[in-house]
C-alpha cells in the first residue's frame, strides 16, 4: 500500500469532473474550494477539471481515469460532472473548435454518467450555466484588441439547448441534476434589474432636464426584465429553457462572460450543497461521512484515556466484501455460480428506479454466472447461439428460484440480461446492468471491448454469462432455497 493510499483510506473521496468551470473551482472562493472546506476531515476532494475540454475529450480521459485496473484509493462518495459550455461553441467548421453536435453530446453524457455511477455512491450532474454575452464581447476586445471579431463564440440561445439535454439525460439515468442554466439566468436577470434601478436613482437627481428618451428606454427594459423574472420564477423547471435578454449590466456572475466571479462561484456551491442534501445525504451525520480521526476536543475530554478514543474511531470503512452475505458458490450440475449480497449504498438509487415498489434496504442481490462453451467476446453464429442457450437456461432457473421464494410469501424477481427489465414484476423507469452490477459486488476484472464491457471470471475468464436475481426474503430462506438446486440435474 502506497503512502497516498494510507493518507486517504480513512476519508471518503469526492470527484469534481468537468471543463474549466471545474478546473477553476479551486481558485480562492471557488465552488470546489468551498466543497473542500465544507467536507474538511471527512472527504478528500479531487479536482479533475480540464480547461477547454468538451464532452468528447472528457469521456476519453474519464475512461482512462476510472478503468477498473487503474489504481483506486476509495470508491467515490460523491462525483459531480459539469460539461457543455465548450460543446455549445458556435460551429464554424474549424478543426480547432470544441463544438460537439447536440446528439453526440447527449450520448457522451450518457456514457460519462454510466461510468461515474459504476464508481460513485452519488452522482450530481450540473448543466452548463448561462453566459454574459455583452461581457463576453468586451472580453474579446480586451484579450485580442483589433483582432477581435465582434462575433460571439457561444450564445445563450444555443447553450440553453445543451442545458436542456443535460437535464433530460440526468433524469433518464436516475441521477440528481442542478439546473445551473436556470439558476444563473435568474440571478443575472436580478442583477440587471438592480443595476438599472441603482443607475436611475444615482443619475436622475443630478439632471436638471430629464432625458425622456433614455428614461423610457430604461423603464421599457426594466419592464421586460420583470416579465422575464416572473417567467423564470414561475417554475423551477420550465418546460423550455428561458434565456437571458443578453443586455448585460455592469454587474455579473462572470469575469469574462463565461468563467465565474466570486458571486457566481458561491451560487454554484450553494446550489450543489442544496442538491446533495436534497437526495438525503447528511454530511454532518457520521454514518454518511465520518471524521477521519477524533476531534481534538474529544481527546482533551477523555480524562487521559485518549488512546481508547483513537481505538474506538479506528473502524475501517466497509468494502464490497462486507456486503457479501454468501460467497461465490458453485452448483456443479448446472455449471452455475451464485453469491448473495446486501445492496451497496451506491446501488440504492438505481435499484429504486428498477423496482420502485420494493423496500431497497431489505433487498438481497443474487448475481449468477454460467460457464460457457465458447468465449463470448467472439462474434458469430456460435457465440450468438450460445448466448441464446444461456439466456433460456437462466430464465428457467431464475423463475424456479423466484417461484420457490414467492411460495414462501417473499417477493422475488429476476432481470432480463438483454433488456435489464424485471421478468416477473412491473417495469420501473430504470434498467439493471448485470455486468456493472456484478463488477461492483464482486470486483471481478472488467474488460473493455470498445462496444461493450465484459466480466472476466477468475476461473472461467470471458467464457461466462452473467445474470441476476433479487429478493426481499431473509438470508436463511434464500440459502435453503438455493440448497435445493445443489443436486439438480442439468
Q: Could you tell me whether strands 364-371 and 464-471 are parallel, antiparallel, or unpaired per DSSP bridges?
A: antiparallel
The conformation of residue 181, written as its DSSP 8-state character, comes to H
Q: In a structure prediction context, what are the per-residue pLDDT tens digits for the chain, which is 490 residues long?
A: 455 556 767 888 999 999 999 999 999 999 999 999 999 999 999 999 999 999 999 999 998 888 654 444 446 889 999 999 999 998 765 556 899 999 999 999 999 999 898 888 899 999 999 999 999 999 989 988 888 888 898 999 999 999 999 999 999 988 999 999 999 999 998 888 776 665 545 544 444 444 555 555 555 655 665 666 666 666 555 445 555 544 444 689 999 999 999 999 999 999 999 999 888 787 876 667 888 888 888 888 888 888 888 887 765 556 677 889 999 999 998 999 999 999 988 788 889 889 999 999 999 999 999 999 887 666 778 888 888 999 999 999 999 999 999 999 999 999 999 999 999 998 888 889 998 889 889 988 877 665 567 888 999 988 999 999 999 999 999 999 999 997 655 5
How far, in Å, CA of 13 to CA of 31, rounded? 17
Answer yes or no: 174 catalytic.
no
Is-contact 217 272, C-beta < 8 A?
Answer: no
> Do 323 and 441 contact (CB within 8 A), yes or no?
yes
Q: Which of 2, 3, 8, 20 is catalytic?
A: 20
Give the separation between CA 229 and CA 38, rounded to whole angstroms.
31
pTM higher than 0.75? no
Reference 430, options 325, 360, 350; nearest CA is 350
Strand arrangement, sheet containing 364-371: 324-331, 336-342, 364-371, 464-471, 412-414
- 70: region left, alpha or beta (phi > 0 left; psi from -120 to 50 alpha): beta
Amino acid at each position: 500500500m502506497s503512502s497516498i493510499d494510507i493518507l486517504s483510506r480513512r476519508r471518503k473521496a469526492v470527484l469534481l469532473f468537468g471543463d474549466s468551470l471545474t478546473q477553476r473551482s479551486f481558485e480562492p472562493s471557488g465552488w470546489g474550494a468551498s466543497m473542500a472546506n465544507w467536507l474538511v476531515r471527512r472527504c478528500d476532494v479531487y479536482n479533475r477539471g480540464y480547461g477547454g475540454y468538451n464532452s468528447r475529450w472528457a469521456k476519453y480521459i474519464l475512461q482512462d481515469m476510472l478503468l477498473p485496473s487503474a489504481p483506486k484509493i476509495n470508491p467515490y462518495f460523491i462525483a459531480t460532472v459539469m460539461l457543455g459550455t465548450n460543446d455549445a461553441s458556435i460551429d464554424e467548421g474549424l478543426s480547432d473548435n470544441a463544438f460537439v453536435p447536440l446528439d453526440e453530446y447527449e450520448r457522451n453524457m450518457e456514457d460519462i454518467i454510466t461510468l461515474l455511477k459504476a464508481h460513485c455512491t452519488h452522482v450530481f450532474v450540473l448543466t452548463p450555466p448561462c453566459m454574459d454575452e455583452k461581457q463576453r464581447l468586451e472580453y474579446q476586445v480586451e484579450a485580442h484588441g483589433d483582432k477581435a471579431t465582434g462575433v460571439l463564440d457561444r450564445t445563450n440561445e444555443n447553450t440553453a439547448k445543451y442545458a436542456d439535454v443535460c437535464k433530460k439525460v440526468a433524469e433518464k439515468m436516475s441521477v440528481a441534476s442542478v439546473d445551473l442554466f436556470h439558476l444563473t439566468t435568474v440571478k443575472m436577470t436580478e442583477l440587471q434589474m438592480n443595476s438599472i434601478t441603482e443607475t436611475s436613482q444615482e443619475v436622475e437627481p443630478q439632471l436638471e432636464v430629464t432625458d425622456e428618451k433614455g428614461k423610457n428606454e430604461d423603464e421599457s427594459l426594466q419592464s421586460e426584465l420583470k416579465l422575464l423574472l416572473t417567467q423564470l420564477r414561475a417554475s423551477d423547471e420550465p418546460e423550455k429553457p428561458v434565456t437571458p435578454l443578453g443586455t448585460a449590466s455592469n454587474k455579473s456572475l462572470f469575469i469574462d462572460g463565461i468563467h465565474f466571479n466570486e458571486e457566481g462561484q458561491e451560487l454554484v456551491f450553494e446550489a450543489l450543497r442544496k442538491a446533495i442534501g436534497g437526495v438525503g445525504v447528511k454530511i454532518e451525520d457520521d454514518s454518511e461521512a465520518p471524521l477521519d480521526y477524533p476531534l481534538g476536543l474529544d481527546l482533551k475530554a477523555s480524562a487521559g484515556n485518549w488512546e481508547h478514543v483513537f481505538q474506538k474511531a479506528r473502524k475501517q470503512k466497509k468494502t464490497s466484501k462486507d456486503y457479501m452475505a454468501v460467497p461465490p458458490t458453485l452448483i456443479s450440475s448446472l455449471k452455475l455460480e451464485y453469491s448473495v449480497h446486501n445492496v451497496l449504498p451506491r446501488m440504492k438509487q438505481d435499484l429504486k428506479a428498477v423496482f420502485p415498489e420494493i423496500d431497497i434496504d431489505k433487498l438481497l442481490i443474487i448475481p449468477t454466472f454460467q460457464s460457457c462453451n465458447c468465449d463470448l467476446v467472439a462474434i458469430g453464429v456460435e457465440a450468438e447461439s450460445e448466448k441464446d442457450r444461456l439466456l433460456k437456461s437462466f430464465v428457467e432457473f431464475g423463475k424456479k428460484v423466484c417461484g420457490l421464494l414467492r411460495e414462501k410469501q417473499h417477493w422475488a424477481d429476476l432481470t432480463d440480461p438483454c433488456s435489464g427489465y424485471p421478468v416477473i414484476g412491473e417495469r420501473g423507469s430504470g434498467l439493471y446492468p448485470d455486468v456493472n452490477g456484478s463488477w461492483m459486488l464482486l470486483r471481478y476484472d472488467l474488460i473493455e471491448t470498445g462496444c461493450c464491457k465484459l466480466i472476466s471470471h477468475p476461473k472461467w475468464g470471458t467464457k461466462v454469462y452473467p445474470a441476476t436475481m433479487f429478493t426481499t426474503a431473509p438470508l436463511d430462506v434464500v440459502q435453503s432455497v438455493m440448497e435445493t438446486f445443489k443436486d439438480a440435474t442439468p
